[in-house]
């Protein structure tokens, strides 16, 4: 559970960061990390169109640089975008100055006030600095679709078990997650719709 749905004591380590949007309404926020890439992202967009769902894509700046047409597809299909650093780097491994410079580089390609740190790892000074310019979005449910030891059923069951009103759910439009995500993500959308959930963007 610690990974799939971070507990309260972990969340309090990051003040001013959004993990979930508490609400009495049955709504969720579907998000995708690590794209855009031409091998996966267009397929994700087609699935979202099929179900009439809008999502938020936290994009890696270097992928946007390499695949601007794929990134533009995300925008044109009416989805929200956010900054996921330029090189998908972890804040704990970098001095704050260098980490912020990498995010700023990504921001030159991604026009958004939303930011999600790769792996959810940041130093406290990084959190304080980023809060001045970004709305930092974490998650309430991470599907672990990237995990090679999980299968699509496992990923789907994570969504079933942990989703609640206002959950921010994370999938990945990446090659590493593709095998699990291609099956589990449509099943998850169908199940969430059956349960009466509405999809919103951040």
Indicate if 154 belongs to the active site. Answer: no
Helices (H), 39-177: 41-51, 61-66, 68-76, 96-107, 124-130, 152-162
> Up-side HSE of residue 177: CA atoms within 13 Å toward CB?
24
Please give the average per-residue pLDDT across 112-120, as a whole number: 97
**pLDDT digit string, tens, across residues 51-88:** 999 999 999 999 999 999 999 999 999 999 999 999 99
pLDDT tens across 139-152, in order? 999 999 999 999 99
> Across the chain, what does the average pLDDT equal?
96
CATH of the domain spanning 18-200: 3.20.20.370
Residue 149 CB neighbours (<10 A): 6
Catalytic residue among 34, 84, 172, 173, which? 172
Any idea what DSSP says for residue 167?
B
Report which DSSP code applies to 20.
B
Q: Of the residues 33, 34, 140, 145, which is catalytic?
A: 33
Q: Is 172 an active-site residue?
A: yes
Give the span between the Cα atoms of 197 and 52, in whole angstroms.
13
Question: Domains of the chain: which residue ranges?
Answer: 18-200
């Amino acid at each position: 559970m610690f990974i799939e749905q971070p507990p309260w004591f972990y969340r309090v380590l990051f003040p001013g960061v959004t993990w979930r949007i508490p609400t009495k309404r049955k709504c969720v926020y579907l998000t995708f990390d690590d794209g855009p890439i031409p091998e996966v992202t267009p397929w994700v967009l087609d699935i979202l169109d099929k179900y009439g769902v809008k999502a938020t894509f936290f994009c890696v700046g270097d992928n946007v640089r390499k695949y601007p047409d794929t990134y533009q597809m995300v925008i044109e299909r009416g989805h929200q975008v956010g900054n996921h650093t330029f090189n998908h780097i972890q804040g704990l491994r970098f001095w704050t100055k260098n980490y912020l410079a990498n995010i700023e580089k990504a921001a030159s390609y991604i026009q958004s006030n939303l930011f999600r740190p790769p792996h959810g790892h940041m130093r406290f000074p990084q959190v304080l600095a980023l809060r001045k310019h970004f709305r930092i979005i974490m998650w309430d449910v991470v599907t672990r679709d990237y995990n090679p030891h999980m299968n699509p059923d496992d990923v789907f069951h994570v969504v079933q078990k942990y989703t609640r009103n206002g959950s921010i759910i994370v999938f990945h439009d990446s090659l590493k997650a593709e095998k699990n995500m291609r099956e589990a993500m449509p099943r998850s959308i169908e199940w969430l719709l059956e349960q009466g959930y509405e999809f919103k963007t951040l």
